[in-house]
Amino acid sequence: MSTSMRQHKKPIISPLRYPGGKASLYPRLRTLVRANAMTEGTYVEPYAGGAGAALGLLITGEVQRIVINDLDPAIYSFWLAVTKHPGEFSQMVKTADLTVDEWLRQKEIYSIGSPENYLKLGFATFYLNRTNRSGVLNGGPIGGMDQTGNYKIDARFNKEGLIERIRLLALHSKQIKVTNSDGLAVIRKYSSRHNTLIYADPPYFEKAGSLYLNSFMDSHHSTLAACLNRAAGSKWLLTYDNVPRVAELYRERRREIFSLNYSAHRVVKANEVMVFSDSLVLV
């Protein structure tokens, strides 16, 4: 285990930067995994994105298997490429040109978006995620097209560090299942299985915007709630932005308000909410 993993409570393993990423929930999820005797079990993220929490739990041995599902073909291609061809992927990282010309080339591959060539699309997705402002795939490059900003296109592309994350991931690739389904189908499939914990982090009501693929309209939020409420006897948890609609949809479930930007030195508005299934043991 690398020094950075021993020192930090939240291991940073995902090669992707994700707006609103949930890697920081790792300590809480670890507590839940242990309290629910899931250490030998499967942990499922139906809306995985950067999958920071999932990878943290797997690599620290807290769970044995993870399922990373995302409906976005670009994100799916990234996870498939990096788990199936980590060597080739690392080589691509190592030799990547960090220039605006290369950015334009990768953007073209991303825009065409052919998942048949998942290595190419997966790498383009990764390249844009690491070179764009805030990792937003449809945004512009750090430093601007003219590269006159304080930070340049390579500011978040530490090749050595990223290759190390890919190497760690590759060591566990047999324990990672990558899928490209609708999150609802994944919840339906896994909620009936024993020894399985589902953590759903769907597109938010208000914040989702253009940060990532937002396939959700109000009806999707209600369908998701119906599906999860039906599965209240299974082990799942859900996070959302703290809007009144969540309290309405999940009025019969236990809920807890929290802040992702919690800091011991600042008072931050708690603007997210966690919802728990009835059979999840809380500590």
Which residues, including other chains, have CB under 8 Å from residue 50's CB and lie 6 or more apart? 14, 16, 17, 18, 21, 23
Interface with ligand SAM (CB under 6 A): 18, 20-22, 46-47, 49-50, 52-53, 70-72, 75, 182-183, 201, 203, 212-213, 215-216
Of 136 and 232, which has the nearer Cβ to ligand SAM?
136
- Is 154 or 201 the residue whose CB approaches ligand SAM more closely? 201
**In angstroms, rounded to a whole number, what is the distance separating the alpha carbons of residues 235 and 232?**
7
Q: How far is the CB of 97 from ligand SAM (least distance, A)?
A: 27
Q: Which is nearer to ligand SAM, 42 or 100 (CB)?
A: 42
Q: Give yes or no for a contact between 46 and 236, defined as CB atoms under 8 angstroms apart.
A: no
Tell me the closest approach of the beta carbon of residue 204 to ligand SAM, in angstroms: 6
Min dist CB 29 to ligand SAM, Å, is 11
The smaller minimum CB distance to ligand SAM, of residues 143 and 277, is found at 277
Smallest gap, in angstroms, from Cβ of residue 20 to ligand SAM?
5
Please give the single-letter amino acid code of residue 36: N
* Least spacing, CB of residue 148 vs ligand SAM, in Å: 30
Nearer Cβ to ligand SAM (55/170): 55
Judged by beta carbon, residue 100 or residue 165, the one nearer ligand SAM is 165
> Smallest distance from the beta carbon of 2 to ligand SAM, in angstroms?
21
Q: Are the C-beta atoms of residues 236 and 187 closer than 8 Å to each other?
A: yes
Considering the complex, what minimum distance in angstroms separates the CB of residue 220 from ligand SAM?
Answer: 7
Q: Determine the Cα–Cα distance for residues 127 and 123; give it in Å rounded to an integer.
A: 6
Residue 193 in contact with residue 42, Cβ under 8 Å? yes
Q: How far is the CB of 146 from ligand SAM (least distance, A)?
A: 30
Q: Which is nearer to ligand SAM, 90 or 239 (CB)?
A: 239
Specify the residue, 100 or 184, whose C-beta has the smaller distance to ligand SAM.
184
Is residue 34 within 8 A of residue 62, CB to CB? The reply is yes
Contacts with 123 (C-beta within 8 Å, 6 or more apart), sequence order? 78, 81, 89, 92, 106, 109
